[in-house]
Every structure is written in C-alpha cells, then in structure tokens.
C-alpha cells in the first residue's frame, strides 16, 4: 500500500483551519446581537367573573328589615302586617313606569341588534344618507356663493374708496390753492397774522396734501388691500388737518387787523373750501366705517356658511355610519354592549322592588302608597328564623355590590369543601372608618338551612358581583396608560414588529383579568413583558 506523505506546511495549514472553525463556534456569537424575546398572551374569549371577598361571623336573626336601594315614591304595597310570605315574593315597589320603559327600550335595542335591521329601516337609512348628501352639496354651493359675493362686494367698496380718495385729494389741492392765493394777496408781511397764515399753509396744509397724495398713489399701484385701508385712514386724518387749517386762516381774516382788508369774496371762498373738505371727510369716514362693517359681515357670513358645511358633513358621516351599522352583521362586541345595557336597566328597575329574601311573616309596613322613602328607611319588617353574616366591605368594593347579589359561603369549621348559598340582604348607606379606611356594613343571608351551621362560626363570603360570557379579555398587567388616561397595548405582529393599539376596557374581573370592549380581535398576540 502506498503511503501518502503530508508535508510540514500542510500540517500547519490544517491547524490554522481548525483554529478558525473553533473561533467561529465560540467567539463569533459573542459579537452577534441577541434576539429580543417577549412574554405574550394570545387574545381569547372566555367567561369572566368579578367577586368581592369578605369575612364575618354567623349570626342568628329572627327580625329582618327590608329597604329599597334608592329614594322614591312608594307606588304599590302588596302585603299587610301579619301576612305570611314565601321566598322571592314581590312585596312592594317604587314607581316603575320610567324604569320599565328603560328595560323595554334596552330589550328592544338588543332584539333589534340580534335579528338585524328590517328592509324598511335600511331603505329609510339609505334615503337619509342621500338626503344628507344633497344637503352637503347645497351647503358647499352656498359657501361658494357667499364667498364669491363677499369678494365682489368688497372689491366694489375698495374701488369706491380709491375713487373717493382721488376726489378728496382734488378738494385738498383746491383748498390749498385757494388759501395760497389769499396768503399771497394779504398775508405776505412779517406781522403775527402773516406768519401764522404762512406757517399753517406751508407746514400743515401742504404737508397734509402731499402726505395724502403719497398714500393714495401707493394704494392705486398696490395689489394689497391693506395699503388702501391705510390710505383711507391717512386721508381722513389729513382732511381733518386741512379743515382745521382753513378754520385758522378764516378766523385770522375776521381778526381786527384784517377784517376790512380781506374781501367778502375771499372769505366766502374759504367758507366754501371748508364745506367741501368737511363733506369729503364725512364721505371718507363713512367709507372707512363701511369697509370695516362689510369685512365683519363677510367674515360672519362665510363662517356661518362654512359651519353649515361642517355640520352637513358631520350629519352625512353619522347617517353613513348608521346605514353601515344596519347592513353589517352584528358583532359579538356589539351584542355584549346591548346585553350589558339591558342588564343595567334591569338592575336599576329591580332596585325599586322589594322581594322577600326568605320566608316569614310581615310584622310591620312602615310606608303607604304615595309616600316618599329613602334607602335608609325600612319599608317592611319580616319575622323569620334565619342565619345571616355581617361583613365590612371597603369603599372601593362596595360600589360593585347590589342587593340580591349571589354569594358563596364557606365556614372555617367545616372546611372549604362545604359550601352554602347566600344573598346580599342590605347595604348600610352609612360608613365606618377602620384604620383610616372607609368601610360599609353589608348583611348576607344564608339561603341553605343546615344543622351544621352554628351562630358564631367564622365565615368566608364571596359575593359574585358581575359576569361576562364569551368576552375578550387580557391580563390586566398587559394594559398600558398614556396621556389623558388613554389605554393601549402592544401587539406582536407575525413579522416581529410591534404595533400599539388603543383599547377600551370593561369589567375588571378576578384573577387579574380585564374585559376588552373594543380595539382588539381574538387571536392577536399581546406583549406582557420583554424577556432579557
């Protein structure tokens, strides 16, 4: 067999290759970025239960006071003192008209959502959409017309202002020229009167006339209406200055030294110039005022027309949304919403009714039909041997509890395997402070009769305050909050990217679960935390 010889150089090459391979295995990963991992929760539907836990002691009670869970007028009393009643019997109620109407309305809304809209309702909604589209088009056309008319009227007013300013300048020029002739004829000397007239002519009338000419020329050449506004204001001011100057010169002409020197013709000329300037000033002041009023009117008219457009557009969007909701298949979340509204309306109605929580004998009826009663006043008193438990519920939990809520009771002496049913009897409206925490006393009746139950036994009470079936839910720790208490979650997409979604929450249930009313869909993956 022929031996293959490996040279020293070949051995060194293989050693180098081996070192590189080892480095690629152990060293290169050290420089690669670690992939971010997340703990996630996949959105699913399920049953949610909200409970309130409390502890107390079993007490034996023969007398039971029954209260309404609110204030109102007693409408019906169905029992009298001495009557025997069975558990669940309707004993009395407050006025139910509005409460029954609310229940019926909620039931009707739920039924309608379940069966979907009728063809007639869909056609009516479609016509409302079409009508809203016509109303929007008309409102937009009106806005265009109002804007066009506003511009047309304003352009005409500015054109009139330019023409009137030219006329005003001519009157200022004529007034200056007439005054200049009188000055040259009578006031060329160095006396006080001559100096006053020359100063008025040169430093007031001439300056005002030239200033007005400058602003008027700029207004004619400019495409900016602000220059015209400025020119109008300046012309009004210059006209007043020239009017004042004419008055000064006229008064000098009536002075002792010149009364008989200046002819009646020149005096009349000055009077005429004063009248022309005064009329021109009134005209320009009126134009200035008209421009201001017209701008305000135009702005108001355009704003009103624009508001009508926005209102019509909002109405159209509302009608479209209503139409879409009618033709769309009802979503589980919508059904849950209407069911919750019905449950709430029913609960509110039931607060105005007293049912016998246990069998017994009516010993006292404290109110008659038509009388006002509050939740702190006992309506009916029953005599019946039964067991009840008094528990102290903190203020954060008592708002969840209502009379007739179902309770599960265990007794320490019998262990957790033996359970009894109960029901919330009363909720004391007055509070008690225990170690700086506000509590309310709640009585829970034990429905089951058993020889195992003894007074004084320690009891654990779990009150079932609310439930949701088929609800979308999340662990509460996945829910984040940002500005204005807006709640959102982070969704892990299939491509590894993260998307933030705003949500609306509902029931805060046991086991750290929270109902999601809107914003999420079943199957989405929500990030709970980042794993380092």
At residue 31, the pLDDT reads 47
Q: Which residues contact 418 (CB under 8 A, 6 or more apart)?
A: 410, 411, 452
- Asked whether the predicted pLDDT for residue 397 surpasses 50, the reply is yes
- Using alpha carbons, select from 465, 406, 345 the residue that is nearest to residue 102: 345
Q: What's the gap between Cα 150 and its chain centre?
A: 34
Q: Which residues contact 465 (CB under 8 A, 6 or more apart)?
A: 50, 51, 52, 400, 401, 402, 405
Over residues 375-391, the mean pLDDT reads 84
Which of 272, 286, 265 minimizes the C-alpha distance to 243? 272
pLDDT tens for each residue of 165-199: 999 999 999 999 999 999 999 999 899 999 999 99
Is 44-95+352-526 a domain of CATH 2.40.30.170? yes
Residues 51-81 pLDDT 10s: 888 888 877 677 888 999 888 899 999 999 9
Name the token pair of 102.
């609310």
- Structure confidence by residue, pLDDT tens digits, 14-55: 666 666 666 555 555 554 555 677 778 878 888 888 888 888
Q: Which residue has the higher pLDDT, 526 or 102?
A: 102
In this predicted structure, the answer to whether residue 407 has a pLDDT above a threshold of 50 is: yes
Per-residue pLDDT averaged across 199-226, rounded? 95
Averaged pLDDT, 395-399 = 81
pLDDT score for 49: 85
Residue 366 in tokens: 């404290």
Q: Return the structure tokens found at 398.
A: 């008592």
pLDDT at 248 over 60: yes
State how far the Cα of 353 lies from the Cα of 95, in Å rounded to an integer.
9
Mean pLDDT of the chain: 86
Question: Residues 518, 504: contact at Cβ < 8 Å?
Answer: yes
Q: Higher pLDDT residue, 31 or 213?
A: 213
Instruction: State pLDDT tens for residues 465-494.
Output: 888 887 888 888 888 888 777 888 888 777
Contact by Cβ (8 Å): 498, 509: no
* 386 token code pair: 């039964």
How many angstroms separate the CA atoms of 379 and 373, rounded?
Answer: 8
The distance of Cα 380 from the centroid of its chain, to the nearest Å, equals: 45
CB of 464 within 8 A of CB of 406? Answer: yes
Q: How much is the average pLDDT of 246-272?
A: 94
Compute the average pLDDT of residues 236-246: 96
Closest by CA to 513, choosing from 92, 178, 121, 47, is 47
- What is the rounded (10 degree) CA torsion for 479, 483, 485, 490? -20
Burial class (CB in 10 A: 0-12, 13-18, 19+), 102: middle
Phi, psi of 311 (to 5 degrees): -65, -45
Burial class (CB in 10 A: 0-12, 13-18, 19+), 232: buried
pLDDT in tens, 316-372: 999 999 888 788 777 778 788 888 999 999 988 988 999 998 888 899 999 999 999
CA 8 to chain centre: 85
pTM for this prediction? 0.44
What is the per-residue pLDDT for 1? 46
d(C-alpha 516, C-alpha 512), whole Å:
13
CA torsion through residues 518, 521, 522, 523, sign: negative
Angle formed by the axes of helices 225-253 and 206-221, nearest 10°: 160
| Residues 333, 341: Cα–Cα separation, whole Å | 12
- The whole-number pLDDT of residue 219 equals 95
pLDDT(86) > 80: yes
Out of 273-282, 287-296, 475-484, least confident range: 475-484
Pairing of β 406-411 and β 415-434 = antiparallel
Residue closest to 55 by CA, chosen among 403, 444, 405: 444
According to the model, what pLDDT value does residue 475 have?
87
Token pair of 423, please? 């029901």
Sign of the dihedral defined by the CA atoms of residues 444, 450, 456, 457, in that order: negative
Question: Which residue ranges make up each domain of the chain?
Answer: 44-95+352-526, 139-313
Token representation of residue 425? 């009897």
**CA-based nearest residue to 227, from 165, 147, 298:** 165
Decide if 280 contacts 168 (C-beta within 8 A). yes
State the Cα–Cα distance between residues 382 and 368, nearest whole angstrom. 17
Q: Answer whether residue 426 shows pLDDT above 60.
A: yes
Q: Which residue has the higher pLDDT, 21 or 498?
A: 498
pLDDT tens digits, one per residue of 106-116: 998 888 777 77
Determine if residue 456 is left, alpha or beta; phi over 0 gives left, psi from -120 to 50 gives alpha, anything else beta.
left
Using pLDDT thresholds of 50, 70 and 90, give the confidence band for residue 439: confident
- Output the pLDDT for position 30: 52
Burial class (CB in 10 A: 0-12, 13-18, 19+), 98: exposed
Contacts 24+ apart (CB under 8 A), 225-228: 225/154, 225/158, 228/158, 228/161, 228/162
**What is the predicted pLDDT for the residue at 7?**
53
Could you tell me what percent of the chain has a pLDDT over 90?
47
CA 20 – CA 40 distance, rounded (Å) = 39
For 244, the enclosing helix (H) or strand (E) is: helix 225-253
Q: Does domain 139-313 have CATH number 1.20.140?
A: yes
* Among the listed residues 332, 349, 336, the one whose alpha carbon sits nearest the alpha carbon of residue 468: 336
pLDDT of residue 75: 93
> Residue 502: what pLDDT?
84
In this prediction, residue 435 carries a pLDDT of 76
Name the more confident of 460 and 38: 460
* Per-residue confidence (pLDDT) for residue 228, from 0 to 100: 96
Name the residue among 391, 402, 312, 300 with its Cα closest to residue 349.
402
How far CA 283 is from CA of 165, 246, 433, in Å, comes to 9, 19, 80
- Residue whose C-alpha is closest to residue 402's, from 77, 68, 17: 68
């Amino acid at each position: 067999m022929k031996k293959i010889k490996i040279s020293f150089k070949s051995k060194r090459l293989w050693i180098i290759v081996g070192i590189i391979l080892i480095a690629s295995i152990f060293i290169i990963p050290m420089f690669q970025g670690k992939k971010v991992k997340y703990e996630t929760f996949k959105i699913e539907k399920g049953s949610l239960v909200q409970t309130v836990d409390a502890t107390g002691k079993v007490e034996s009670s023969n007398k039971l006071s029954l209260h309404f869970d609110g204030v109102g007028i007693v409408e019906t009393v169905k029992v009298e003192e001495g009557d025997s009643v069975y558990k669940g019997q309707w004993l009395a109620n407050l006025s139910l008209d509005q409460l029954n109407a609310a229940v019926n309305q909620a039931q009707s809304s739920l039924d309608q959502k379940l069966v979907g809209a009728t063809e007639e309702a869909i056609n009516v909604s479609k016509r409302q959409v079409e009508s809203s589209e016509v109303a929007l088009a008309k409102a937009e056309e009106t806005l265009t017309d109002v804007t066009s008319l506003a511009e047309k009227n304003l352009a005409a007013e500015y054109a009139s202002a330019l023409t009137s300013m030219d006329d005003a300048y001519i009157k200022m020029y004529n007034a200056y020229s007439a005054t200049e002739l009188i000055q040259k004829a009578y006031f060329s000397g160095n006396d006080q009167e001559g100096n006053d007239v020359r100063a008025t002519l040169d430093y007031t009338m001439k300056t005002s006339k030239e200033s007005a000419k400058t602003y008027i020329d700029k207004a004619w050449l400019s495409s900016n209406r602000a220059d015209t506004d400025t020119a109008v204001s300046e012309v009004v001011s210059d006209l007043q200055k020239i009017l004042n100057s004419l008055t000064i010169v006229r008064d000098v002409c009536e002075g002792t030294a010149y009364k008989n020197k200046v002819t009646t013709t020149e005096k009349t000329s000055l009077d005429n110039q004063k009248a022309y300037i005064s009329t021109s000033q009134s005209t320009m002041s009126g134009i200035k005022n008209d421009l201001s009023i017209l701008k305000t009117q135009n702005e108001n008219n355009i704003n009103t027309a624009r508001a009508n457009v926005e209102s019509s557009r909002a109405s159209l969007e509302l009608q479209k949304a209503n139409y879409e909701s009618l033709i769309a298949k009802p979503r589980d979340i919508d059904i849950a919403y209407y069911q919750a509204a019905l449950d709430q309306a029913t609960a509110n109605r039931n607060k105005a009714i007293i049912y016998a929580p246990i069998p017994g004998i009516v010993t006292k009826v404290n109110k008659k039909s038509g009388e006002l009663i509050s939740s702190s006043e006992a309506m009916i008193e029953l005599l019946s041997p039964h067991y009840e438990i008094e528990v102290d519920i903190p203020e954060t939990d008592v708002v969840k509890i209502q009379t007739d809520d179902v309770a599960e009771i265990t007794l320490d002496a019998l262990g957790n395997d033996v359970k009894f049913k109960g029901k919330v009897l009363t909720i004391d409206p007055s509070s008690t402070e225990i170690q700086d925490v506000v509590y309310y006393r709640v009585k829970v009746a034990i429905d089951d009769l058993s020889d195992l139950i003894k007074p004084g036994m320690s009891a654990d009470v779990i009150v079932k305050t609310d439930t949701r079936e088929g609800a979308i839910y999340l662990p509460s720790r996945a829910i984040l909050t940002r500005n204005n208490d807006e709640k959102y979650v982070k969704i892990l997409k299939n491509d590894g990217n993260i998307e933030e979604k705003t949500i609306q929450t509902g029931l805060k249930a046991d086991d750290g679960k929270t109902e999601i009313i809107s914003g999420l869909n079943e199957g989405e993956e929500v990030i709970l935390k980042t794993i380092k």
